[in-house]
């Protein structure tokens, strides 16, 4: 007997909330079927879609992508053969709503049924009713960390960090990330309800909308994960210094450097992203020269006191914020990102004046995109300038014995975690060479 269902089920009736679920289905088809980033899929939703439906669809699709393996494991025993992709996605949406999002059972089942072609309505109805009967207990006993992590990432994190940390990273990905803000002025008052982290980031609960907070329009802060704020902090720009920010859009680090009073040149290759960087700087009322150029080639030898290279990467350190990344990236992407990073690093090293400094950062958990570049940097004539624990208050465990920084999503777990970043600081020795 299905207790949650209080009204007769008419699969074709078009239950309330159907536009939300149709949009969620479109998002899943884009990410899992066509390998498009979730942000791009959100932009491609119909312009007329109610913003609340858009936000709810985003929430549902994110929950499915976060817990894909677990949801499939719950559905699996009820399937005799693989259904068409849209039916599989409708089952995932229904299961996520029933087991993770607290949607009333009749609404979750009726809307998932309405998503699929008529011949599959009975199957979706029957499977989701059975799952609704089990309730959240359906997820108990599953090895969620393992199921929800693509096998190649699971193996790579095991190899890099060991079994315990790999499992802790995967567990951190289950939870939506908080909203982190970097204040434009360190002495500014944080918004009501914000926690001020030891590194100065303002942290608000997951789901908080930055644009609705007081001070947004006035440029009092910008959105930036607490770990993403560390590379510019470690470069420690001084007022008037010439600083190049390579690979700069959307500009979180450019803004930090400019707010510290440096004369910043921000280099970004993608014209649309460069336009967004300019818009962000305008909102924040912070000055920087924005150059549209390829940072593997741009710039004069020794022209800068300091260079920040926040290189493009697979972004596996941001999976808790962007759960689509886990399903979009492949091992070959790590190799090609690492190769591009090496070329960027070589050019970045050339731009630093003798006696100047360089910070290299990526938001990847893969050592090929972090630690593996240390040797190459030394071969370029750079010297590692070790990070001291006092420079990253409260995060001593992220400072490695070698002197670089390795943040992970499982650090600061009680506070809501951190994105995964690799950050290394180098000095270019003074004098010839």
Ligand X SMILES: C[S@@+](CC[C@H](N)C(=O)[O-])C[C@H]1O[C@@H](n2cnc3c(N)ncnc32)[C@H](O)[C@@H]1O
- Residues annotated within the binding site for S-adenosyl-L-methionine are 247-253, 268, 294, 310
Active-site residue, from 363, 365, 395, 398: 363
Residue 167 interacts with ligand X (CB under 6 A)?
no
* CA–centroid distance for 128 within its chain: 31
Is 258 within 8 Å of 288 (Cβ atoms)?
Answer: yes
d(CA 42, CA 224): 20
Query: How crowded is residue 274: how many other Cβ atoms within 10 Å of its Cβ?
Result: 21
Least gap, CB of 241 to ligand X (angstroms) = 18
Least gap, CB of 244 to ligand X (angstroms) = 11
Least gap, CB of 188 to ligand X (angstroms) = 20
> Residue 152: CB partners within 8 Å, gap ≥ 6?
330, 331
Interface residues for ligand X in 280-339 (CB under 6 A)? Answer: 294-296, 310, 312
Binding mask 222-251 for ligand X (x = CB under 6 A): -------------------------xxxxx
CA angle 84, 322, 409 (to 5 degrees): 125
- Of 97, 148, 225, 268, the one binding ligand X by CB under 6 A: 268
Is 317 within 8 Å of 157 (Cβ atoms)?
Answer: no
Q: Is the CB of 31 or the CB of 247 nearer to ligand X?
A: 247
Q: Is the CB of 72 or the CB of 292 nearer to ligand X?
A: 292
Binding mask 371-410 for ligand X (x = CB under 6 A): ----------------------------------------
Is 237 within 8 Å of 243 (Cβ atoms)?
Answer: yes
Is 62 within 8 Å of 323 (Cβ atoms)?
Answer: yes
414: which DSSP letter?
A: G
d(CA 418, CA 227): 6
Least gap, CB of 243 to ligand X (angstroms) = 13
Least gap, CB of 297 to ligand X (angstroms) = 8
313 catalytic? Reply is no
Residue 267 interacts with ligand X (CB under 6 A)?
yes
Stretch (H or E) spanning 156: helix 151-161
Taking the chain, what is the end-to-end CA distance rounded to the nearest angstrom? 79
Q: Is the CB of 292 or the CB of 371 nearer to ligand X?
A: 292
- Of 39, 43, 218, 270, the one binding ligand X by CB under 6 A: 270
Q: Is the CB of 22 or the CB of 269 nearer to ligand X?
A: 269
d(CA 41, CA 324): 11
Note the residue count of the chain. Answer: 433
d(CA 219, CA 402): 38
Q: Is the CB of 82 or the CB of 300 nearer to ligand X?
A: 300
* CA–centroid distance for 377 within its chain: 26
- Of 21, 58, 269, 322, the one binding ligand X by CB under 6 A: 269
Q: Is the CB of 112 or the CB of 228 nearer to ligand X?
A: 228
- Give the side-chain half-sphere CA count within 13 A for 38: 25
Residue 138 interacts with ligand X (CB under 6 A)?
no
Closest residue to ligand X in the complex (CB): 247
Least gap, CB of 272 to ligand X (angstroms) = 9
In order of 7, 10, 98, 120, the CA distances from 14 in angstroms are: 14, 8, 19, 16
Residue 260 interacts with ligand X (CB under 6 A)?
no
Tell me the site size for ligand X, rule CB under 6 A.
17
386: left (phi over 0), alpha (psi -120 to 50) or beta: beta
Residue ranges binding ligand X (CB under 6 A): 247-253, 267-270, 273, 294-296, 310, 312
The catalytic residue positions are 363
């Amino acid at each position: 007997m299905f207790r949650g269902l209080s009204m007769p089920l008419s699969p074709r009736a078009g239950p309330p909330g159907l536009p939300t679920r149709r949009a969620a289905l479109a998002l899943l088809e884009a990410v899992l079927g066509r390998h498009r980033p979730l942000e791009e899929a959100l932009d491609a939703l119909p312009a007329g879609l109610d913003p609340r439906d858009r936000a709810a669809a985003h929430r549902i699709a994110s929950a499915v992508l976060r817990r894909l393996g677990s949801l499939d494991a719950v559905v699996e025993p009820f399937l005799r053969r693989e259904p068409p992709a849209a039916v599989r996605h409708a089952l995932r949406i229904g299961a996520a709503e029933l087991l993770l999002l607290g949607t009333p059972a009749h609404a979750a089942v009726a809307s998932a049924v309405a998503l699929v072609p008529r011949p599959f309505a009975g199957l979706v109805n029957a499977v989701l009713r059975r799952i609704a009967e089990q309730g959240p207990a359906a997820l108990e006993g599953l090895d969620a960390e393992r199921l929800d992590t693509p096998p190649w990432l699971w193996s790579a994190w095991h190899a890099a960090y060991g079994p315990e940390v790999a499992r802790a990273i995967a567990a951190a990905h289950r939870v939506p990330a908080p909203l982190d803000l970097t204040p434009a002025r360190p002495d500014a008052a944080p918004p009501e309800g914000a926690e001020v982290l030891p590194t100065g980031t303002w942290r608000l609960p997951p789901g908080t909308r930055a644009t609705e907070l007081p001070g947004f329009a006035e440029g009092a802060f910008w959105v930036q994960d607490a770990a993403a704020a560390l590379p510019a902090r470690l470069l420690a720009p001084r007022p008037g210094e010439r600083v190049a920010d390579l690979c700069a859009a959307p500009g979180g680090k450019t803004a930090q450097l400019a707010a510290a009073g440096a004369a910043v040149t921000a280099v970004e290759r993608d014209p649309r992203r460069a336009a967004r960087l300019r818009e962000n700087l305008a909102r924040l009322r912070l000055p920087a020269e924005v150059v549209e150029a390829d940072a593997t080639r741009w710039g004069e030898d020794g022209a800068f006191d300091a260079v920040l290279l926040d290189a493009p990467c697979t972004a596996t350190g941001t999976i808790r914020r962007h759960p689509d990344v886990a399903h979009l990236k492949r091992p070959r992407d790590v190799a090609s990102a690492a190769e591009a990073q090496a070329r960027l690093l070589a050019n970045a090293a050339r731009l630093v004046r003798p006696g100047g400094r360089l910070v290299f950062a990526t938001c990847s958990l893969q050592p090929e995109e972090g630690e593996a570049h240390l040797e190459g940097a030394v071969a370029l004539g750079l010297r590692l300038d070790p990070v001291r624990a006092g420079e990253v208050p409260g995060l001593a465990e992220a400072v490695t014995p070698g002197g670089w920084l390795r943040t992970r999503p499982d650090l600061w777990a009680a506070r809501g975690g951190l994105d995964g970043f690799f950050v290394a600081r180098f000095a270019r020795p003074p004098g010839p060479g």
